[in-house]
Chains A and B, each alone.
Chain A
Amino acid sequence: MYALWRTIGAVMGYRDVKAQVLSCLRTGDILHESRGDIDIKNLLATGQVTLAEVVEVIGRSRGSDYRCSPHHSVDGVDVHIIQRRHEGVDWYIKWYFVEPTTVFISVHH
């Protein structure tokens, strides 16, 4: 029963999360995390992929592509991850929300 509840909860959470991140991507209300430098592997922060491409990947993702975990150092902030294969390419997208903005940590192939 607990497993079923957890599954339903995760799916519902994912839908809300997906809607919010897509809204931020469409309105351009996004930031890219930095650790004092520009992550050369972050394809979105370096302009090697477009917002539209990330919208496409996240838009087509499913609950099974998604996972969520607490931020490693800040209580109360969830880190969201979508990992999926899209048009032959493996994508890894990680972000958190600081209402109403999305802060992307990773957008990698």
Chain B
Amino acid sequence: MRIFRVGDSQKVICEHCGSLESATFKLRDVPFSDGSGIVKKVLVGVCDCCDEVCVIPHQSTPAVRRQLECQRKAVESRLPAHLLDILGLATSEVGATADFIPSLVKYYIHQLATDPEAAGKLKAFLRTELAAGKADKRLSLKGKIISEELELVKSAADIDSTTDVIKGIILKINEDILLLKRPEAMAELKGIVAAVA
């Protein structure tokens, strides 16, 4: 691998200048083309003529990928406090502590992503009293495929808002684990809790 250092230079085409220019490698904050985020202090080639970023060395690729994955990973929702309490009680019911809350929700997202019929029933939960309330708590979900799976659930459930679909999932957890204590869901979750304990 050819490694560039800060201050090295290289001849490249600068699309901004429309000509072959000398670029000097510098650390810059560079945005993604879709505006979804910024890779901070990444080594890039900056055109000596116009000061625009015109080239990215391959050695910067892991930093770019890391930032991209971080952005794709986190799913944030602001929720009423009682919905977080439901998750706390459900984790306790399957023998886990509050640390297991994100895993519990991710488990349900995964299940619903592969079961469009079950996902289609989430909307009904949003019409219940428990779906309402001031959103003063935050739930953060991280994972490599969480965003993709959540999009599948949103599509199957015909719900546009991420927060609403998370609310629906929490209320399904309430029904499955706390109200009906569905044996198959309980057994599977207890198995996962045992495996990660």
Contacts and interface: CB of A to CB of B under 8 A. Distances in A.
Contact of B56 (A45, A48, A51, A98): A45
Interface string B27-64: 00011111010010000110000001111111001101
Interface of A: 27-41, 44-48, 51, 71, 73-74, 77, 96, 98, 101, 103
Interface stretch (B9-17, B87-95, B111-119, B126-134): B9-17
Q: Which one of B20, B33, B57 has the greatest number of beta carbons of chain A within 10 Å? A: B33
A37 B30 contact: yes
Interface in B101-118: none
Q: Which one of A36, A38, A40, A47 has the greatest number of beta carbons of chain B within 10 Å? A: A38
B2 A27 contact: yes
A77 B11 CA distance: 12
Contacts of B58: 28, 30-32, 44, 51
B55 A39 contact: no
Interface residues of B, number: 32
Contacts of A37: 30-33, 53
B41 to A, nearest CB: 14
A109 to B, nearest CB: 16
B33 A40 contact: yes
Contact of A35 (B15, B19, B61): B15
Contacts of A48: 65, 68
Interface string B60-83: 011011001000000000000000
B1 interface: yes
Contact of A33 (B2, B11, B54): B54
Contacts of B16: 35-36
B18 interface: yes
A74 B56 contact: no
